[in-house]
Amino acid sequence: MNILSVDVGTTSMRGILYSAKGKELSLVSRLTPLIFIDNFIEQDALVLKDKLFEIVRETAEANSVDAIVVTAFRSAPALFDKEGRPLSNFIMWQDTRNKEICERIAPRNKEIYQKVGAKVNAVFTASKVTWFKEHLNEAYQKAYKALVVPDYLINTMTGAFTSDKTYGSRTGIMNIFSCDYDKEMVDLYNLDLEKLPELVDVGSVVGYTTEEFEKATGVKTGTPVISSGGDQQNSALGLGELDESSLVINCGTGGFIISLVDQPYLENEAMICNASAVPGKYVLESNVLASAAALNWMLKELFPELWNDGHPDFKRFHELVGKSAPGANGVRIVPLFQGCGSRDWNLDARAGFTHISLGNTRNDLGRAMLEGIAAEIVKSVRGFPEKSQNVSRIYVGGGLTKSDLFDQILCDMLGKPLVRYDDAQATAIGAFISAAVTLKLYPDYETAFAKAREGAKTFTFEPDPEMHAFYQDVIRDTEEVYKSLK
C-alpha cells in the first residue's frame, strides 16, 4: 500500500509518496505564493486546489496511490458555500487584521485560557472568522462553512466538511477538555455554530475520494483520505516525540517548540496547550512568529546577490556569516518582525538592531540575526514545565535547522545536545506514521515511527560549556532590547 502525504506549508505544497515500509517513492512540490494586499496576507483557495491536483496527478502517473493523508499549517480560514466553492480568500495565520477583535475579547483571558488552552491571540482562527462576519458580512451570511486550508483540501477530495481536533484546538473556541466547540466561547466571538465544520478525531479516515477527483487526478474513486492533524503536531511525531521525554524545535517560516503531555497543562499562560497528532494526548507549544521569515528578509535586503529570485543560497550565507565571531562583534538583533509570539503575545513588537558601529559588517548582522532567532527560541523554552526543559536531548527540524552554524548556536545557547535527522521531511513523515497506524499497517505509533526512520542518518550537536555561559549574555542583552522597545 502506497500512502501519499500531502504536506501544506505557508508558501509551498509537497506530495511525498511512501511505501507501506515508510520508504520515499516520489516527491512533487509546488509553490503556493502569498497575496499581499496593503497589510493583509492571503492565499487563493483555487490556486491551492490547482496545486493539489497537479501534485496528486503527477504522483499517480508514476505510482499507485492507495491512501492520502493531509497535514497543513493550522490557522488560516476562508468562507465556502455548500458546494465547497470559495467565497473569500484564506486569511493567513500571520495576518493581524483581527487584532482589534482580539483586544476586545482579551480582558477575559484568564477564563478563556482555562477553557481553550491559549490566551486570545491574532494567530488563531475564531477571531479571523469574526472579522469575516464584521467586514465581509454578505459573504459570511452566504457561507455554509468556514474552513481552514486542510479542511478545504479534504473537502475538494471527498466532499466532507470536517476539521480534526488539532485544528479545532487552534481556533480559540474548542474546549481543551471536551475537545468540542465551547458554546460560551462561540458566543464570545459572536460566531454561528452551524457555520463551523464538524470536529473529528485526529488520525481518522474523514472521507473517500470522489469520481470528480478521479477525473482530475487519476486516483481511484473511494481512496481513503486521512486527516493527520496540524503541521507542527506532525513534525513532532515525525521527529519521534512519542512520550514526555523529548522536546522538539521546528524552525520553518516561524519557530515552534513542542512537548508532549498526557493531560492538559494550564499552569503557565505563556504556553499553548493543543490536541496532539497522537489521539488522546496533548502538546504544549510556544512559538516565535518569524524564524526563517526573518532570515529571508535579511537575505533580500542585505545579501541580494544570494536571493536568486526566491531561491536563496543559504549555504553561502552561512559561510559568510560564520566568519563573524560568536556574539557578532557586539551586534544584537531582536527579530520580532511580526511581533512577539506566545511568550508575551505582543503583536505591536517589532525588530530591533542595536550596538552597530562603523566597524561592523553585514556578516556581523547576519550572525546576529541567527543568534537573535536562537535567543527567542531559548526564551520560549524557558516557559515550559521543568520536566520538559530537563530532557536529555532536543530534536530539531525545519528549513533553518539544515544549517550547522545555526544548530550549534542554538545548541550552545540551550546547553543541551541537539539531534537533527538528515531527512528534513519530518511533517510528511509524521503524517505517514499517523496514516499507517489508522490503516492498521502497524499496531502503534512507536512501531510505525521505527519503521519510517529505519536506517535514517542523524547528526548530534554537543554544547560547549564556555559558549553556553557566553551566550547567556547575548540572551539577556536581546531581552533588555525587547523590553526597552516595548
For residue range 300-314, what is the model confidence (pLDDT) as tens digits?
999 999 998 767 899
- Convert the pLDDT of each residue in 143-154 to its tens digit: 999 999 999 999
DSSP category for residue 195: G
Read off φ and ψ for residue 318, nearest 5 degrees: -70, -30
- Which residues are CB-neighbours of 80 under 8 A, at least 6 positions away? 45, 86, 87, 143, 144, 145, 146, 147, 152, 155
d(CA 81, CA 315): 45
In this predicted model, what pLDDT tens digit does every residue of 14-45 receive, in sequence order? 999 999 999 999 999 999 999 999 889 999 99
**Any residues with CB less than 8 A from the CB of 379 and at least 6 apart, and which?**
343, 475, 479
Question: Among 158-162, 225-229, 391-395, 427-431, which is the least confidently predicted range?
Answer: 391-395
Distance CA 156, CA 426 (A): 25
DSSP bridge pairs for 261: 282
Q: What is the pLDDT of residue 244?
A: 83
What is the spatial distance between Cα 45 and Cα 289, in angstroms, rounded to a whole number? 23
Q: Cell numbers at residue 462, please?
A: 554537543
As a whole number of angstroms, the distance between CA 231 and CA 92 comes to 15
Pairing of strands 204-208, 224-230: antiparallel
- Split at pLDDT 50, 70, 90, the class of 429 is very high
Per-residue pLDDT at 338:
86
Strand, helix or coil at 139? helix
What residues contact 323, with CB distance under 8 A and at least 6 apart? 363
Task: Please state, as a whole number, how many other Cβ atoms lie within 10 Å of the Cβ of residue 84.
Answer: 19
Mean pLDDT for the stretch of residues 102-119: 96
For 138, residues 6+ apart whose C-beta sits below 8 A from its C-beta are none
Give the pLDDT mean for 135-145.
98
Higher pLDDT, 272 or 243: 272
Looking at residue 485, its pLDDT comes to 85
- Residue 286: what are its φ and ψ, rounded to 5°? -135, 150
Question: What digits encode the pLDDT tens for the residues 397-427?
Answer: 988 999 999 999 999 999 999 999 988 789 9
Predicted model pTM:
0.90
Cα 324 to the center of its chain, rounded Å: 31
171-182 pLDDT, tens digit per residue, is: 999 999 999 999
Topology of the domain comprising 3-233: Nucleotidyltransferase; domain 5 (3.30.420)
* pLDDT value of residue 417: 94
Tell me the backbone φ, ψ of residue 357, rounded to 5 degrees: -115, 175
Mean pLDDT of 247-269: 91
